[in-house]
Amino acid sequence: MVAWILSKRRLRDMPLQPVSKMGRLAGFLSGAAFRVILLVLMLPVAAFSADPANELITEYNIPQKESYPTAITATADSKIWFIEFNANALVRFDPESREMKEFPIPSDKSHAMDIAADKDGVLWLAEQDVNVLSRFDPRTGTFKEYVIPFKNVNPIIVFAARNGDVWILGWNNNMLVRFRPGTEKFDNFNIPTPNSSSFDLTEDHFGNIWFVERGGNKVAMFDPEKKRFREWSVSESIQSILGTAIDSKGMVWYLEMVDNKLVRFDPNTSKHETFEMPKNKGTQEMAVDRSDNIWMVQSTDNRLLCFNTKTATIRIFDLSEGESKPTTLVIDPKGRIWFTESGTGKIGMLDTAKLVDEAKKMRVKLKNTEKLFR
């Protein structure tokens, strides 16, 4: 059916939802504001389900349904790895054979929060409750755990840089931690803004490490060579920002959760360009693909979103099961979008190679505004 065409509607504020590890967005638009929404031809929901008639999204049961799958990553061989939080296990999934194998994490009740794959295919886990960085070698199937020598880091974010260094952010300790596998030594760097509540590590083309400061209301960059931080305020009001993704042009993307905007930040000009998001109940994580599309998961809304950075349009993909609760996502070397479903105990895959313009459920033209902060 054809829905509204260029219709104007008054939209109400959405109340803030509880915040997960990766955070949630607040409401859609301000109650007094008007926005133009373009809804195009809407296809049957079956086009986005996981039944045999649909070749777009496929879901896979995991070894332990109640294990609460959380962080997910992919290695260069397109194997998928994720954490079973309640089962205290790392799981490998082979998309070709559809075989899953569990590897129990040595530390009991490690509360592993995040996972990253390095350039050699080694997996790194942030074990929050035991203050440990864990290394898993897929070739030998063995773990090696490193106790972080700094008190109460409680690692929740881990990132493997291209040069082999592993970076860590902890829970409310205002510390950026580096681990060098070659020497097995840790370094720590104090983040300048107090109580920054920093999250979401990534790396630019120059090897600089980027993250967001949810408490500090800033985007931050650390230069490992100069051992120097640089910070940019994102707004005059607290936004509890979520990020961070860097596209092929070096633009930094993040979300302003309170004002419900996707933001493109240019480090060269310090310019922030904002795009209003469609109504939602919270975004958990974001990633950028090789075409510079920004992918997001929204757990409570039970869907994936794809923002086209070239056309400023967004495509929404509803999951077939209402309680799937997609939590984290990763893009594999083939460009497929993988995500964990904490509500149903599954992992899912959206095959981007099979996306066509006619197979979209909704496209929303986003209005952008510009702003500049020093």
The pLDDT, as a whole number, for residue 365 is 45
At residue 320 the predicted structure's pLDDT band, cuts being 50, 70 and 90, is confident
CATH of the domain at 37: 2.130.10.10
Tell me the torsion sign for CA atoms 212, 217, 222, 227.
Answer: negative
Identify which of 219, 213, 221 has the alpha carbon closest to the alpha carbon of residue 240. 213
pLDDT(244) > 70: yes
pLDDT(352) > 60: yes
At residue 51 the predicted structure's pLDDT band, cuts being 50, 70 and 90, is very low
Task: Count Cα neighbours of 151 within 13 Å in the Cβ-side half-sphere.
Answer: 0
The DSSP H or E segment spanning 89 is strand 89-94
How confident is the model over 306-315, as pLDDT tens digits? 999 999 999 9
Cβ contact 166:116 at 8 Å? yes
The structure's pTM equals: 0.81
How far apart, in whole angstroms, are the C-alpha atoms of residue 100 and residue 118?
A: 21
How confident is the model over 79-96, as pLDDT tens digits? 999 999 999 999 999 999
Per the domain annotation, does 15 fall within a domain? yes
pLDDT(35) > 50: no
The pLDDT, as a whole number, for residue 56 is 83
Chain centroid to CA 49: how far? Answer: 23
Cβ contact 117:81 at 8 Å? yes
In our burial notation (b when 16+ CB lie closer than 10 A, e otherwise), range 70-92 reads: bbbbbbeeebbbbbbbbbbbbbb
Per the domain annotation, does 2 fall within a domain? no
pLDDT(147) > 70: yes
What average pLDDT score do residues 197-226 get? 96
Range of lowest pLDDT (60-64, 184-188, 322-326): 322-326
How far apart, in whole angstroms, are the C-alpha atoms of residue 168 and residue 239?
A: 23
Amino acid at 51: D
The pLDDT, as a whole number, for residue 123 is 98
At residue 360 the predicted structure's pLDDT band, cuts being 50, 70 and 90, is very low
The pLDDT, as a whole number, for residue 30 is 30
What average pLDDT score do residues 20-45 get? 29
Per the domain annotation, does 149 fall within a domain? yes
User: Percent of the chain, pLDDT > 90?
Assistant: 68
How far apart, in whole angstroms, are the C-alpha atoms of residue 193 and residue 206?
A: 23
Identify which of 178, 123, 124, 135 has the alpha carbon closest to the alpha carbon of residue 153. 178
Cβ contact 223:231 at 8 Å? no
pLDDT(2) > 60: no
What is the C-alpha radius of gyration for the chain, rounded to an integer number of angstroms?
Answer: 20
At residue 172 the predicted structure's pLDDT band, cuts being 50, 70 and 90, is confident
Per the domain annotation, does 272 fall within a domain? yes
Range(s) of the domain holding residue 173: 7-372
Number of neighbours of residue 153 by Cβ within 10 angstroms: 22
How confident is the model over 255-289, as pLDDT tens digits? 999 999 999 999 999 999 999 998 888 888 999 99
At residue 356 the predicted structure's pLDDT band, cuts being 50, 70 and 90, is low
What average pLDDT score do residues 90-108 get? 96
Mean pLDDT rounded to a whole number for the chain: 82
How far apart, in whole angstroms, are the C-alpha atoms of residue 240 and residue 215?
A: 7
Per the domain annotation, does 280 fall within a domain? yes
The pLDDT, as a whole number, for residue 66 is 87
At residue 55 the predicted structure's pLDDT band, cuts being 50, 70 and 90, is low
State both tokens at 215: 């408490």
pLDDT(297) > 70: yes
The pLDDT, as a whole number, for residue 318 is 87
Cβ contact 158:124 at 8 Å? yes
Per the domain annotation, does 1 fall within a domain? no
The pLDDT, as a whole number, for residue 235 is 87
State both tokens at 18: 């509880």
Per the domain annotation, does 366 fall within a domain? yes
| Total structural domains within the chain | 1
Task: Count Cα neighbours of 293 within 13 Å in the Cβ-side half-sphere.
Answer: 19
How far apart, in whole angstroms, are the C-alpha atoms of residue 4 and residue 39?
A: 6
Q: How far is CA 128 from CA 109, 160, 291, in A?
A: 9, 17, 34
What average pLDDT score do residues 120-141 get? 97
Q: Which residues contact 357 (CB under 8 A, 6 or more apart)?
A: none
Per the domain annotation, does 331 fall within a domain? yes
